[in-house]
A = this chain, B = another copy of it.
């Protein structure tokens, strides 16, 4: 009956890997570094997509679709971008296979070599800005507010399901503006949209901020990010939004005529979140019994399990269960009634706990007699008996309560794991003792940032937006610091 799940204390990393498999979220495929997202995992991703897509449209964006392949030469056009993205990638060199003349099955046809190699997109700035050149002539054509849902490929050597895979799913927004101000506002807006989604739907609190120069997106003038803290005290970058200045417009010659008839380069942003969010969701809320899902993203918010010894009992229970299912659905609640006779109730309890269904309702013969049901919350594992006529009201309340409870718990965990330090020794000690976010003064140089990274593996996650602007001196060099920044070891 046990879950045979490694506990978080035993081995957090192993716990994560096992959980992803056992909760039926994803698995490794026969292709190195590429995952299969299983139906249950994909259903959660679909809920995320739907809500994000709604938010993007509400802020004026439209979807479009650009090619999977990017000619190699496109990457060379934006100098900093090429180093960041065009190195570890999947390269298409041929367009045909043929039967081997020596009977070795199918082989690459050497006569079908491409004149120019194609890169499977690691991100689409280059192909999109090559397209925008044709779309933008005048200020009337601006802004372009476009998003794409797509798969991308980055040839990662060490992969982990959802967190780091060679192929992953994401959305990438690419916008074009007439003014710098408008582009900066767009990049900031999308950071706020991401934070809103991650906090209010995933129930994962985030810190909003900007990246240091060395952590910026390749080609960006400013990278805005949202950073979340996992249960093991490591940070996870949950989303980024980049102000790209005129770099891509210049690289791809995208100019527009202003109202006054002058030719100017267009201002750009890009922003994205990916299936990595699944990793953040899992690692923030789940426990040693398996996945814990916030109600807003749970494919099934409630599961009803009948407990019976014979067909007669099942029939009577099913009548109540189906009526209840119907009533809950009327309230917009997603309810599954699992009356399979191939599995025992205990197996089902275990299964739905592993899969993080927020509320489980069990109905047995005694419940019928007493006019009650047994109701279990996944987040607290608390059980209670509820009178049949009160169930709908109680469940409706729990949808809100569980969502809030998960967020509150995550906030509390983050507060416990956020430490202000004023010396490098204290910094190292906190990192070793409990990890988490460490707020410290830094002299603003890449050299010091590198030194800290090399010595402690901690990186600057962000320069927080809403922290007080307290000045001080760098914990390493003692040089002046304008403000504290947030360090952590990170995924």
**Given A71-B31, A72-B106, A94:B91 Cβ within 8 A:** yes
A84 to chain B, nearest CB (A): 12
- Total number of A residues with any Cβ neighbor in B under 8 Å: 62
Bound complex: CA A29 to CA B71 (Å): 11
The answer to whether the Cβ of A215 comes within 8 Å of any Cβ in the partner chain is no
Q: What chain B residues lie within 8 Å of A404 (beta carbons)?
A: none
Partner among B46, B65, B97 whose Cβ is within 8 Å of the Cβ of A86: B97
Smallest CB gap from A151: residue in B:
B68
Tell me how many chains of this kind the complex includes.
2
The answer to whether the Cβ of A37 comes within 8 Å of any Cβ in the partner chain is yes
**Given A31-B127, A127-B29, A62:B42 Cβ within 8 A:** yes
Bound complex: CA A88 to CA B96 (Å): 5
Q: What chain B residues lie within 8 Å of A385 (beta carbons)?
A: none
CB distance B67 to A43 under 8 Å?
A: no
A228-251 interface code vs B (CB 8 A; 1 in, 0 out): 000000000000000000000000
Q: What chain B residues lie within 8 Å of A118 (beta carbons)?
A: 31, 90
The answer to whether the Cβ of A479 comes within 8 Å of any Cβ in the partner chain is no
CB distance A34 to B91 under 8 Å?
A: no
**Chain A residues packing against B (C-beta within 8 Å):** 27, 29-31, 34-39, 42-43, 46, 62-76, 82, 86-98, 105-106, 108, 117-120, 127, 130-131, 134, 140, 146, 150-151, 153, 155, 167, 169, 342
In the assembled complex, 30 residue pairs joining A and B whose CB atoms fall closer than 8 Å, in A order, are: A29-B67, A29-B130, A30-B127, A30-B130, A30-B131, A31-B67, A31-B69, A31-B127, A36-B67, A36-B131, A39-B64, A42-B65, A43-B62, A65-B169, A68-B151, A68-B153, A72-B97, A72-B106, A76-B105, A86-B106, A87-B98, A89-B95, A91-B92, A92-B92, A92-B120, A93-B94, A93-B108, A96-B155, A140-B342, A151-B151
